[in-house]
């Protein structure tokens, strides 16, 4: 029995440069050595999981090293979609309109602008089905091999929420579209849980609704509800304790004055049939929001996975501050219901130039493990 706070992170980590070279060749359609590529993915995952374990991460992940990025991943795993280069996708509109010069410069070098291959919007033009079995099997096998080699006892694998698949031109309504994607993604969700891993549903789109200037309040709530219903449809029959839900705000380092408050998003987030909820709480726009849990009751049997280190800055958080952040949550909901984590992934697109330098990521992980040890000490937790 343990009531100690455990450590984890959100998933994506910087890819080694030699792996990026191979990935780039593969994505651009150049001839590449498939066996060499796959063996390099396998060794990179092994190395990455070993480093996480050495840093003191309890619930590890494969760093999403095999995935070129959030959007390309959809293309590789779902049929019924086609790339639509040049399509305008509404995203962060209010924020971009408020700071056009900043974001013009930022998106040219960071996030999708820094990706190893151009990020092309995906449009659904036919019936959606899952076609990622082989890629998923390889990811699961690589992670499990890395776990046994490193001695890591628990791991999670992220997978995209139905709302992240792209836009719809085939189905009659949004509901029909999101439910079709949910039925397809369900194959992946189940396979991850059946493999003995925690499933993490990644949903940065849940928050984006709330700042979309094109929607009124009623439409925002309606979209959030459809998203939640689609996720729960995909999760039916899967034990909530094997599922964690991650939401965030999409942008990493920026003014972010249009990020909706956690208080707006939480009522919808808590309706997702997950056992734990991962959200940003370690940056200057969201740190104060731990107070929310003083008034919003966390349902029985659920846990919080707050960010206590951020993906939005190269400053390595001091372990004393990390401990303080964790103790705040633990005093409200109990240490056994808190898992220390990061605000978001450190490389949601495969990139040569991640916003947080790879060497800094590992220093942050070490600080998080040390801060969690201090918090457990302060809380008198048994381990
Ligand atoms: Zn995120």
The CATH number of the domain holding residue 344 is 3.20.20.210
For every residue of 82-118, DSSP letters joined together read: EE-TT-----SHHHHHHSHHHHHHHHHHSGGGGBSS-
The per-residue pLDDT for 334 is: 96
How far is ligand 1, taken at its centre, from the CA of residue 1, in Å?
31
The residue range of the domain holding 20 is: 6-379
277 located within any domain: yes
81 domain residue, yes or no: yes
Domain count along the chain:
1
Q: What is the pLDDT of residue 1?
A: 42
How far apart are the CA of 250 and the centre of ligand 1, in A? 6
* Per-residue pLDDT, 276: 98
Lookup: tokens for 168: 């719809």
Q: Is residue 371 situated within a structural domain?
A: yes
Predicted local distance difference test score (pLDDT) of residue 2? 64
Residue 349: is it exposed, middle or buried by C-beta count within 10 angstroms (0-12/13-18/19+)? Answer: buried
Q: Report yes or no on 358 lying in a domain.
A: yes
347 Cα: distance to centroid of ligand 1 (angstroms) = 10
Ligand 1 centre to CA of 35 (Å) is 31
Query: Ligand 1 centroid vs 249 CA: distance in angstroms?
Result: 7
Residue 14 in domain: yes
* Residue at 63 is within a domain: yes
Residue 209 is given by DSSP the state: G
Q: Is residue 1 part of a domain?
A: no
Strands (E), 147-294: 154-160, 167-168, 198-202, 243-246, 276-279
30 alpha carbon – ligand 1 mean position (Å):
31
Tell me, in angstroms, the distance from the centre of ligand 1 to residue 283's CA.
Answer: 13
Between the CA of 67 and the centroid of ligand 1 the distance, in Å, is 15
Tens digit of each residue's pLDDT (9 = 90 or more) over 174-225: 999 999 999 999 999 999 999 999 999 999 988 988 888 888 999 999 999 9
- With tokens 């220390």, the residue in question is 340
- The pTM (predicted TM-score) of the whole model is 0.96
What are 284-334's pLDDT values in tens digits? 999 999 999 999 999 999 999 999 999 999 999 999 999 999 999 999 999
- Domain assignment present for 141: yes
Those residues of the chain that have pLDDT short of 50 are: 1
CA of 382 to the centre of ligand 1 (A): 31
């Amino acid at each position: 029995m343990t009531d100690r706070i455990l450590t984890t992170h959100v998933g994506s980590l910087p890819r080694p440069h030699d792996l990026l070279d191979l990935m780039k060749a593969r994505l651009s359609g150049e001839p590449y050595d498939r066996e060499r590529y796959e063996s390099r993915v396998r060794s990179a995952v092994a190395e990455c999981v070993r480093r996480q374990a050495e840093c003191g991460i309890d619930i590890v992940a494969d760093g999403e090293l095999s995935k070129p990025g959030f959007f390309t991943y959809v293309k590789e795993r779902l049929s019924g979609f086609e790339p639509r280069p040049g399509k305008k996708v509404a995203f962060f509109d209010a924020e971009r309109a408020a700071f056009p010069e900043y974001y013009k410069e930022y998106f040219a070098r960071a996030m999708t602008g820094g990706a190893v291959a151009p990020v092309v919007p995906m449009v659904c033009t036919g019936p959606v089905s899952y076609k990622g079995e082989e890629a998923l099997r390889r990811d699961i096998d690589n992670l499990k091999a890395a776990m046994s080699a490193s001695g890591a006892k628990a791991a999670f694998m992220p997978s995209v929420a139905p709302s992240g698949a792209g836009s719809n031109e085939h189905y009659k309504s949004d509901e029909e579209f999101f439910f079709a994607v949910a039925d397809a993604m369900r194959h992946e969700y189940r396979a991850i849980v059946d493999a003995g891993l925690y499933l993490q549903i990644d949903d940065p789109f849940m928050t984006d609704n709330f700042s979309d200037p094109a929607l009124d309040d009623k439409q925002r709530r309606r979209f959030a509800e459809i998203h939640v219903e689609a996720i729960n449809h995909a999760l039916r029959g899967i034990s909530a304790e094997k599922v964690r839900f991650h939401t965030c705000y999409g942008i990493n380092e920026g003014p972010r004055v249009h990020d909706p408050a956690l208080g707006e998003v939480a009522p919808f987030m808590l309706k997702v049939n997950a056992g734990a909820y991962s959200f940003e709480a370690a940056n200057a726009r969201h740190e104060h929001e731990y107070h929310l849990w003083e008034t919003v009751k966390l349902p029985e049997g659920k846990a919080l996975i707050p960010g206590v280190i951020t993906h939005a800055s190269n400053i390595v958080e001091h372990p004393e501050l990390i401990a303080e952040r964790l103790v705040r949550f633990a005093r409200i909901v109990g240490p056994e219901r808190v898992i220390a984590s990061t605000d978001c992934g450190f490389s949601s697109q495969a990139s040569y130039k991640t916003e947080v330098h790879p060497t800094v990521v590992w220093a942050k992980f070490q600080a998080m493990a040390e801060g969690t040890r201090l918090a457990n000490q302060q809380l008198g937790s048994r381990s």
